[in-house]
Structure 1
Amino acid sequence: MELRTRVVGPWPMNSYALVCPTTRQSVLIDPGAEPDELVTMLDGTIPVAIVLTHTHPDHIGALEEMRNRLGVPVFAHPGPHVAGVTLRVDRTLAHGDVVTVGDSAIRAWHTPGHTADMVCYLVEGAPIAIVGDTLFDGGPGRTWSADDFCITLTTLRTIVLTWSDDVVCCPGHGSSFRLGERRAAIERFLAHAPKGFFGDATWDM
């Protein structure tokens, strides 16, 4: 699949589009802000859905406007959503569900920790993962309680590290990175993660 990216919003975040190379059907992932930029990113494609990684405001700020502009359904985890957000979802996605995009597809992986409704999307047959705020080049997504931090550790151990080293992780903020280049750092982090911690963490803390 073709991957397109736009950095949008006052707290710069990455909105993505995945495009089927044969049918030109596309999905928009995380419409955070700047609808005109997002429409430009989708130029030459046929949008079929809006897909969310999670419901923090910087990731869904332009959701309703893009829903209205594109006239397509919204797919997301059933929740609970961030801070009691009420979200109109046309299709809920559980772990392992597949979203078809023309002749291509993406698979949902539930990766809680940063939020309860966090979902990553791996492209079927290609080493691309849209990981939202699950993890970044420098560390995992921020957590707001010790319990959430423990959940993040479990997500890293049981989900993220099962992916191939070739997978390119495309996060909600910052640069993409190849999982294999960070695997050793993540494993060290898991081995020495402080008990009772929460907040911003780095792989080398």
Structure 2
Amino acid sequence: MSYTGDVTKDGPADVRELPDLTISKIEVGDFGNNAYLLRCTETGDGLLIDAAAEPERLLALIGDRPISKIVTTHRHQDHWMALEDVARATGATVIAHPLDAPELPVPVDQQVEHGDRITVGVVTLEVIHLRGHTPGSIALLYQDGHIFTGDSLFPGGVGNTQKDPARFAQLFGDVKERVFDRLPDHTWVYPGHGKDTTLGAERPSLPEWEARGW
């Protein structure tokens, strides 16, 4: 079956097989959080995006094949409640942006900034800093066609900025400049909660998002 990105609590992972990368998406916890396991096809190395909750399910998803890295997209607790357990069990390097790193429950081994690269096997992911939902929110981009956005971009709008006009302007500006202005319509968006989308599906709504201010 083809990948849709539609997952449910306690349900199975949805798996996308790309030539160089396998993406497994699962929903965990009580807040509808998505976690993503990325595996390099050539080497088998793995990377987990957001050890959000239910460490036992995440470790079952990881299985017997090692992962080398865990990336936390931002500081909010619902995105890292399983981080300590999964990091201890796997020995993986913990990665986050320096502005959010102090809020995580374990020391961050590798701090990344906008434009940095993270490798999983022979695959490279680009860090995109999207300021506003939190100061250190990041997205991960793979080959200009797949972007993991945490809580900075969803179907229907950008992430929550608590009705703060300055924070909204910052997040909307970053998402427009660093994501929409740069990447093609076919780029698939993997958010921190809920269903996936594409930039092409969301692009016509940008003026509406800007006008409404959230």
The TM-score, its normalising length taken from structure 2, stands at 0.84
CA drift of 1:103 comes to 1.4
Distance 1:148 1:137 in 2: 19
Where in structure 2 are the equivalents of 1:1-205 lying within 5 Å? 1-43=21-63, 45-80=65-100, 87-123=106-142, 125=143, 127-144=145-162, 145-161=164-180, 162-190=182-210, 192-194=211-213, 201=214
**Root-mean-square deviation (CA), in Å?**
1.7
Q: 1:138 to 1:59 in 2, by over 3 A?
A: same
Distance 1:65 1:85 in 2: 13
Report percent identity of matched pairs. Answer: 31
Q: Secondary structure at the match of 1:169?
A: strand
CA drift of 1:87 comes to 4.9
Distance 1:130 1:146 in 2: 25
Q: 1:51 to 1:73 in 2, by over 3 A?
A: same
Deviations 1:40-90 (A, max 9, x none): 2212532001111101000000111111010111011001458x5565110
The TM-score, its normalising length taken from structure 1, stands at 0.88
Number of corresponding residues: 192
Q: Is the 8 A contact 2:100 2:137 kept in 1?
A: no
Report the AA paired with residue 140 of structure 1.
V
Distance 1:14 1:142 in 2: 17
CA drift of 1:14 comes to 0.1
Q: Is the 8 A contact 2:101 2:108 kept in 1?
A: no
Per mean C-alpha deviation after superposition, the further-off stretch among 37-46 and 89-98 is 37-46
Deviations 1:15-40 (A, max 9, x none): 11111011110101100100111012
Gaps of 5+ in 2: 1-20
CA drift of 1:160 comes to 1.8
Gaps of 5+ in 1: 195-200
